[in-house]
Structure 1
């Protein structure tokens, strides 16, 4: 971080909403390591680093007054929202987590006239697909092809509207395919990891099944993404920049991702590429997508620092070898 674009991070107070999820945990540890005073807002118990605290969000009570109370109590310099729902195919759950919660958070900040910066994690799937080899910049059409993407886009639009009306300091980080330690077992790498780990425990080769979606996506290390969030909380250069794409600018196929993790594991393996289910799969809606991270470099002095092979070795080292033998699962589908 450079002094001309960023203020000091130590003792910066951050209210982190959703710090118990996959990406939220990585954000929490990066903010804490930078010396920030982090308060985690979570509906479930969360393990936090020393010096951090957790406050409970009552899922049965209105969120807006709860958020207002927390902001008024802790007077944060920044509020970071990492909440998101992707894996459960329940439209009401997607809408509640991806659209309604961020709107309620922004409205609570508006009610108080908060001057804290609001950092909201959006998704690359808020955009529509583009032809190979075009990269997605912030001016590309917002035309999501999945219910997940549509609810994430509604959330982004709602908080940007509140921010305009209340003059909130806000930035939306559209995340491109976070991968790393602690991923959901329902994700592409989560399923692959489970199969590899089971084969290692059984002392036999792993047979990996992968749906033939022919997709290429921009896979970014969760630690690099957490660094982008850190920089977003304190950057001096974000005035008038409401949306930033956070990705590597490099594309990899689902096959390369699975093969890379399997190679990193040292487990003998084969990959069976099979036809996707009739009617397609959620990932099939976007066959090619990579980020254009130009604005992130300009406004955050940020770019992805780690290569995909490094990330895959880290995933296996920190998760694969420590797991108990898991149950077998269905083929990996390529969803982030």
Structure 2
């Protein structure tokens, strides 16, 4: 099967590329802005017609779109997460043999939901902030395109290669500095929110499963379990060997479990909230029945392993 992969330079895209290149049944071509790509093309700036010509040359049976932006100005997010998706959809429609499309969406598209219940794909999206809105616009473009398409609405991704600006990327770096400089604490943001953490390698497996399936529409990709961000942070601290306190800036939220409070102290690391732009969503847990039934997929990697691999990368960084 011929596959065209978009966005292989990103966090998820790199792992998807690794997974696809190991599959002897797939012939993978990479399109992107970086020199390492087989085809150099900027989705946010290029025209659908130009992209359609590349599609005709490669003749992929499946296009996998991992391209997008998680951080940046509203303009940057709209260009990367909405305009670029419109370009991809239009290019596929114009190509001689329209390919199947597998697009990476985000759980941020859902926005606030009732605390304590899994989120099914039928939930009405109500995103908060430019990131969630721009991702939802991309999803809606795919669903309205008339293409043979699936949108994988990915929940909170963790594991090796995590971005430096993410919660665990910055926490791991803060812990490393604290150990090196013999500091006795690390200050955290409010970590009372619950999140559904899924390993990036499991996400890559889900993408591969979607590529070779006939499933269409929105499909949640998550672990199916909600974990308080504080508990996940404590796991990373234990893996690191840091024995000082994590001082959390607690803000009141409606949660089933009272957030632990610590005494404020001097900051060792200014860490970001569990999601870009401080998304004020107290609860997120995927209903993953659709992924199991239609893709034969479920998450396998324990959260402890995902966080341990983040720490291993950080501790070995020169």
- Whole-angstrom distance in 1 between the partners of 2:21 and 2:45: 29
Give 1:18 deviation, angstroms.
Answer: 0.5
Mapping of residues 118-157 of structure 1, within 5 Å: 118-157=101-140
Give 1:270 deviation, angstroms.
Answer: 1.8
Alignment partner for residue 195 of structure 1, among 164, 174, 184?
174
Q: List alignment gaps of at least 5 residues for structure 1.
A: 1-11, 47-52, 325-336
User: Relative to 1, partners in 2 of residues 1:142 and 1:58: Cα closer, same or farther, differing over 3 Å?
Assistant: closer
Alignment partner for residue 58 of structure 2, among 71, 74, 78?
74
Is the partner of 2:185 in helix, strand or coil? strand
2:224 touches 2:285 (CA, 8 Å); kept in 1? yes
Alignment partner for residue 55 of structure 1, among 39, 56, 67?
39
What is the root-mean-square deviation in Å for CA atoms of aligned residues?
2.0
Residue 85 of structure 1 aligns with which residue? 69
Give 1:128 deviation, angstroms.
Answer: 2.8
Is the partner of 1:80 in helix, strand or coil? strand
TM-score by length of 1: 0.83
1:103 touches 1:155 (CA, 8 Å); kept in 2? yes
- Whole-angstrom distance in 1 between the partners of 2:231 and 2:247: 13
1:146 touches 1:285 (CA, 8 Å); kept in 2? no
Alignment partner for residue 157 of structure 2, among 141, 158, 178?
178
Residue 332 of structure 1 aligns with which residue? none
TM-score by length of 2: 0.87
Residue 298 of structure 2 is aligned to residue 303 of structure 1:
yes
Q: List alignment gaps of at least 5 residues for structure 2.
A: 252-269
Count of matched residue pairs: 295
- Whole-angstrom distance in 2 between the partners of 1:294 and 1:200: 42
Residue 227 of structure 2 is aligned to residue 232 of structure 1:
no
Q: Which runs of at least 4 in structure 1 moved beyond 4 Å after TM superposition? A: 58-61
- Whole-angstrom distance in 2 between the partners of 1:61 and 1:221: 31
Alignment partner for residue 27 of structure 1, among 16, 21, 44?
16
Per-residue CA shift, 1:110-142, capped at 9, x if unaligned? Answer: 012534210000001111322221111010011
Mapping of residues 273-284 of structure 1, within 5 Å: 273-275=248-250, 282-284=277-279
- Whole-angstrom distance in 1 between the partners of 2:223 and 2:117: 14
Give 1:59 deviation, angstroms.
Answer: 6.5
Give 1:284 deviation, angstroms.
Answer: 4.2
Per-residue CA shift, 1:276-321, capped at 9, x if unaligned? Answer: 69xx98334211010000000000000001111121112222x122
- Whole-angstrom distance in 2 between the partners of 1:309 and 1:206: 24
Residue 32 of structure 2 aligns with which residue? 42
Alignment partner for residue 161 of structure 1, among 137, 140, 144?
144
